[in-house]
Structure 1
């Protein structure tokens, strides 16, 4: 094993990941970060370095929890798919069978499969934006979703459910189990796998939390000039656009999230070690437990949506709850041709690849360096991970 000066280790074959991790710090691209890789159901890379705070006084630790942004949705998808396997949810039954109020405004035929594949059209809450009080009460968000109108005919196109995804599934989980998705995940998945992954952290004082340094994504949320490099950025500056309405206009939150609150679309907390372990359990047994059967995994990885996303205005491909290779944010060119995962607008990056028996999680607090493209730090680490397979 190779000792890493910040902290952690790699198996010899994966030394290239350590070099890429070190390079990210050497060029000044990181504040603090952790990266973990599982291969064939066990960890082969576990590295951490830098600082958990902007002042660079609090060292990043192996148990440091970062704010995930969109990779939070991996926990939500895990809960939904586990409940499908238990027969408590159905991919192709109308959501309104369990949530009658949801049928309003032409949503009676929307299914869980449509939500997981980003095809339901229910992407905007700008008629009643999410607030911290709404998150505390939960029910106002469910009521706003029930009152929402699809932005396109459900099932006919796809657009990233950036804000609504976690809340749609959380209410459906609550209707079937009596628990929000955060509670269900904690009790039924995290406890079984020994994960330090949370959608809502009951006791923040007991955890080591990283402070997110404001990134381009957070600057945009705060009203910064988006620029005009991409159609998506232009749209983010237009309050009348679907892009703005589905992202900025659907939330009225402080940029610093309250770790206690459940925001299942964005504000999950996890260490890189635990997030990689979660992804490893999607594709095989970890500690004697596997999340979903191979048949469900195959359906999860099947392309359900492809082409230009109506919300991000970028090429993308989706399975059930996860991005597939098919666009600049999750590109096949980085080695991800047979992978599924989720990239965060704040720079975090996660994936699993059953064809190569890989699970990968990169969690940091330096913020996104790219908007509308794969972060260069994550690309270096991902490419090094795949290159390492050839040396085994």
Structure 2
């Protein structure tokens, strides 16, 4: 039996037991799990291995590619500029990025980018993963494109380009790339072990991702003119690309953030704690309220999930994620099952990051088990 490392309060023994079971059974390879309640880490656990050969232990300094959990940090960066009065979510993107007005996008608002409703959820063909590594050039291509559906009418998950769109707005407003902004304005001040991409000096402590089974749907079935097909092939990728130097060197604010449960919780707890973490204020209450302004509520045109999108974050939707309760909660997760949940009523943040990717699009049986165990034992 492998007992997870770290600490947890006795009332969360079921959470520790669930992680232990998954590590023992092999469902988990390596993982970290944090529950922060108003700045106190009542659960701070990690365990397992970084590698499939099970020769290198996952320790408290291990980081991994967290896939779309990265988007939650990218959204925070944009909201920080909103809070400073430098960015208005209700203004056209073209106010800050004039080239984006091309091909009928002059009325696309910043809030549309943040809620996946802009109509630009990938690159027009031809598109390869290497195209995304040249961040500015890829953003310029997106600015020149026509939208794939009428902006603002529905969400179509901005799978790999969310960070290119938001990042270019951040760059135009702040003069810094998204990677720089996150390092200097978020991770640095908070002392959070998180970065967009991963510096070469940190590669030795990265847990490579272990790819999941194929996704449970075929983009061809939707038709080549559909937003789903265009997004999933614009560009397509396999999970093992995350283990390459080129991916780690890139600035992909949709998908190549590197961190662990502790660092992601440290950053995103700013939301549940009223915008401030240990004296470092990132957001004010008025800006936080924007998160709950519903922008889309229905079946997403790209990933096919029934989703409620606020500004920057998903909101509870029982049909899709029944194990996240109703209430003043926002969340999102990464391919393979990583999850970050901010519960405003309880001033609580739940963070789960791992290297062995599970089947599916959002969440996993493992993340569901941990989250249920947290909520079952809050009293």
Q: Which residue is equivalent to 2:121?
A: 123
Are 1:319 and 2:310 an aligned pair? yes
**Corresponding residue of 1:256:** 241
Change (3 A) 1:205 1:115: closer
Match of 2:218 in 1: 234
Counterpart secondary structure, 1:35: strand
Equivalent residue pairs, number: 371
**Between 112-121 and 75-84, the greater mean CA deviation after superposition:** 112-121
Take 2:54 and 2:218, find their aligned partners in 1: how far apart are those partners?
34
- Alignment pair present for 1:354 and 2:344: yes
The Cα offsets for residues 64-87 of structure 1, whole Å up to 9 and x where unpaired, read as 111111100011001000001112
Segment of structure 1 superposing worse, 206-215 or 177-186: 206-215
Counterpart selection for 2:286 from 284, 295, 303: 295
1:23 Cα deviation after fit: 2.0
Unaligned runs of 5+ in 2: none
Q: What's the offset of the Cα at 1:243? A: 1.3
Aligned equivalent of 1:27, options 7, 25, 28: 25
Which secondary structure state, in structure 1, belongs to the residue aligned with residue 101 of structure 2?
Answer: helix
Q: 1:128: Cα distance to partner? A: 4.4
Residues 64 and 207, structure 1, Cα contact 8 Å, conserved in 2: no
Q: Deviations over 1:227-274 (max 9, x none)?
A: xxxxxx133666614212112332467832332221111111011101
SS in 2 for 1:362: strand
1:203: Cα distance to partner? 3.2
**2-structure distance, mates of 1:37, 1:167:** 30
Q: 1:31 Cα shift?
A: 0.6
Hey, what's the Cα distance between the residues in 1 that align with 2:121 and 2:157?
7
In the superposition, the TM-score normalised over structure 2's length comes to: 0.92
CA pair 264-170 structure 1, distance change in 2 beyond 3 A: same
Indicate the residue corresponding to 1:385 in structure 2. 374
Q: Which runs of 5+ in 1 are unaligned?
A: 221-225, 227-232
> Which of 326, 333, 339 is equivalent to 2:329?
339
Answer whether contact 2:336 2:364 (CA < 8 A) is retained. Answer: no
Q: Which residue in 1 is equivalent to 2:272?
A: 283
Instruction: Note if contact 1:132-1:253 (Cα within 8 Å) is conserved in structure 2.
Output: no
The aligned residue for residue 295 of structure 2 is 304
CA gap 1:70/1:236 in 2 versus in 1, 3 angstroms: farther
User: How large is the Cα RMSD of the aligned pairs?
Assistant: 2.0
- Residue 138 (structure 1) aligned to one of 135, 138, 144: 135
Contact 2:46 2:59 in 1 (8 A): yes
Q: Does 1:268 align with 2:257?
A: yes
For residue 94 of structure 1, what is the aligned residue in structure 2?
Answer: 92
Aligned counterpart for 2:212 among listed residues 203, 212, 215: 215
